[in-house]
Amino acid sequence: MAVMKRLSVVLAAAALSLLAACGQPPATPSDSTSSSPPAIDPTTRSQDSAAPGFANCVYTVSGQAARPVDPPPTENVPATGLTTVTLTMNEGPVTITLDRARTPCTVNSFLSLAEQGYYTGTACHRLSDSGGLYMLQCGDPTGTGRGGPGYSFADETYSDDTYPAGTVAMANAGPNTNGSQFFIVYQDSSLPPSYTVFGHIDDASRAVVERIAAEGHDGSSAAGGGKPNNYAEIQQVSLG
């Protein structure tokens, strides 16, 4: 049984070239070098100079933005409490509850992009429905899996991160390469704790993603999976 469990993790990681983002070509993250990421990466945020309950974040210029957008604010970023964002998709609304306390710099970036309309009218370009990986990947206005916001930022990962159904996490092309792409897990998935978990969706929202996933994909992704056969578009985004 232990052998089968290890095999499912290996298959998921292989399928996972997944998470190529920030305008870079697909790459498979190395599990061996990031199996127990730090709780706080000092290149991501600094608590020392921020007011209590806030964090300072670092966003580094990285490639050309897929859609014109300003980088997020970097100082005194809220680092407590929860907030929500609703993605209105063609199959219905998907409401994400974002955890500012656990991942303030990631949430700050996601909210900034959402407020600027970066995600509005964009297609989710990849669906995976096998190999221990069950997710819908979105957040690239080009629809190619290579587009990003013109900046990158470091991971906010924890060694106890898991990816059960309902998890929302950042896609990446290796350690500290987060940009705009994210993935929504609609069925329990086996992944190393290398992807920043910044939110969760409720059962009703998960049912929306499951309806998209039910029609499968076209197999077009070299990393595994492909474009959803049920075209998945973020039509509108609302905050709070």
Q: Which domain holds residue 43?
A: 2-239
Query: Can you give the length of the chain in residues?
Result: 240
* Mean pLDDT computed over 16-38: 35
CATH number at residue 180: 2.40.100.10
The beta strand positions in the chain, using DSSP E, are 45-46, 54-57, 60-61, 77-78, 82-89, 92-99, 122-123, 126-130, 133-138, 151-152, 167-170, 182-185, 197-201, 233-239
CA–CA gap between residue 138 and residue 157 (Å, rounded) = 20
Sheet with 126-130, side-by-side order of all strands: 122-123, 233-239, 82-89, 92-99, 197-201, 167-170, 182-185, 133-138, 126-130
pLDDT at 20: 47
pLDDT over 90 (residue 140): yes
pLDDT at 222: 73
pLDDT band of residue 12 (cuts 50, 70, 90) is very low
pLDDT at 111: 98
Instruction: Return the closest-CA partner of residue 207 out of 123, 89, 126, 99.
Output: 89
Sign, Cα dihedral of 196, 197, 201, 207: positive
pLDDT at 51: 82
pLDDT at 221: 81
User: What percentage of the chain reaches a pLDDT higher than 70?
Assistant: 80
pLDDT over 90 (residue 132): yes
Residue ranges of the alpha helices (H) in 53-146?
A: 104-115
At 210 the three-state DSSP class reads helix
Whole-number mean pLDDT of the chain? 84
* Mean pLDDT computed over 206-225: 90
Residues β-bridged to residue 108: none
Instruction: Return the closest-CA partner of residue 118 out of 94, 90, 151.
Output: 151
Enter the tokens of residue 62.
Answer: 């990285």
Residue ranges of the alpha helices (H) in 140-227?
A: 203-213
Encoded amino acid at 109, one letter: S
Considering its fold, how many domains does the chain have in total?
Answer: 1
